[in-house]
Each structure stands twice: as C-alpha cells, then as structure tokens.
C-alpha cells in the first residue's frame, strides 16, 4: 500500500496539488506483514502518526522509518488512522496523507500449522494415529548380515 502524491508547498498554493491515493482504506488480517509508505519527492522531514499521536519509536513488530512504516505482523490493536506529515527545512508543513487501517482476525483452522506446530481442531479429528513400520523395527534389531 502506498500513500503518495505530488507535494506542493504553501508558496505554490495557487497550483493544484495532484494527489494520488492508492488504497486509502486498507483491510488486513492478523499476522500479515504490512508496509505503509509516504513518498515525498524531496528530502524534507517526515513525521508518522497513529490516531493523531506521533509514532516516535520502533518496536519489535513495527519499524518507524523516514518514508515507511513496516509491520512485521499486524495485530488487532494496530487498527486506526495512520498519517504522514512532510515538512520542509523551515518546519512548514508541506503535505499530509492519511490511511485507515482495519484489522480482521485471521481465519482459523485453514489447514496450516500454527506457530506451536499443532494443526487446527477441525483437522485434528482426521489425523491418522501413529503407525509403526514393523519391518523397519525388525531390521534394526538384526545384525547387518542378517538384515533383509
């Protein structure tokens, strides 16, 4: 997902600012990776916000970078309004971009193994019982010259 546009400063306000939002509202499932990108076409300062609060620090799941927010995996609590504000060297706000992130619970019991290695409950009932290979066990008990 990108948040991008043609950035104009206040001195050029008479010029129409061309804005191109790609996916201004995004829906993702828990556990998915996500990158939100604010692409200024200059080297000014970028500030990231979530629900009008400045995102200052990265965490183990979220990396706050100059032009991107990178989620290692998304959680329900990550839902909200994200924005990036770009400023020029004289601290004048140049442009503001917003995106609404909605997070849904991932589907359960889809046949994939969970992080703990277990298969979901629906498939658990269909898992065959542990079988032994009696020929293989017998072969291990015999010495090499007596093996099959």
The residue extents of the domains of the chain are 25-104
Q: What local confidence, expressed as pLDDT, does residue 95 receive?
A: 75
Contacts of 75 (CB under 8 A, 6+ apart): 30, 61, 103
DSSP string over 64-81: E-SSEEEESS--GGG-EE
Above 80 in pLDDT, residue 53? yes
56-68: pLDDT as tens digits: 888 999 999 888 8
Nearest to 36 by CA among 62, 4, 61, 69: 69
Assign 87 a pLDDT band (cuts: 50, 70, 90).
confident
15-32: pLDDT as tens digits: 222 334 455 788 999 999
114-119, long-range: CB < 8 A, 24+ apart = none
CA distance 18 to 38: 15
- CATH fourth-level superfamily of 25-104: Immunoglobulins (2.60.40.10)
1-18: pLDDT as tens digits: 343 322 233 333 322 223
């Amino acid at each position: 997902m990108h948040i991008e546009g043609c950035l104009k400063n206040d001195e050029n306000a008479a010029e129409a600012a061309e804005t191109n939002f790609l996916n201004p509202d995004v829906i993702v499932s828990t556990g998915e990776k996500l990158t939100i990108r604010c692409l200024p076409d200059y080297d000014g300062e970028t500030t990231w916000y979530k629900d009008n609060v400045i995102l200052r620090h990265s965490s183990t799941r979220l990396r706050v970078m100059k032009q991107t927010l990178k989620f290692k995996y998304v959680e329900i609590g990550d839902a909200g309004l994200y924005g990036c504000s770009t400023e020029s060297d004289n601290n004048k706000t140049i442009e503001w971009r917003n995106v609404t992130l909605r997070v849904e619970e991932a589907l359960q019991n889809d046949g994939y193994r969970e992080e703990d290695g277990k298969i979901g409950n629906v498939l658990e009932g269909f898992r065959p019982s542990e079988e032994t290979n009696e020929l293989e066990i017998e072969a291990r008990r015999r010495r090499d010259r007596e093996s099959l």
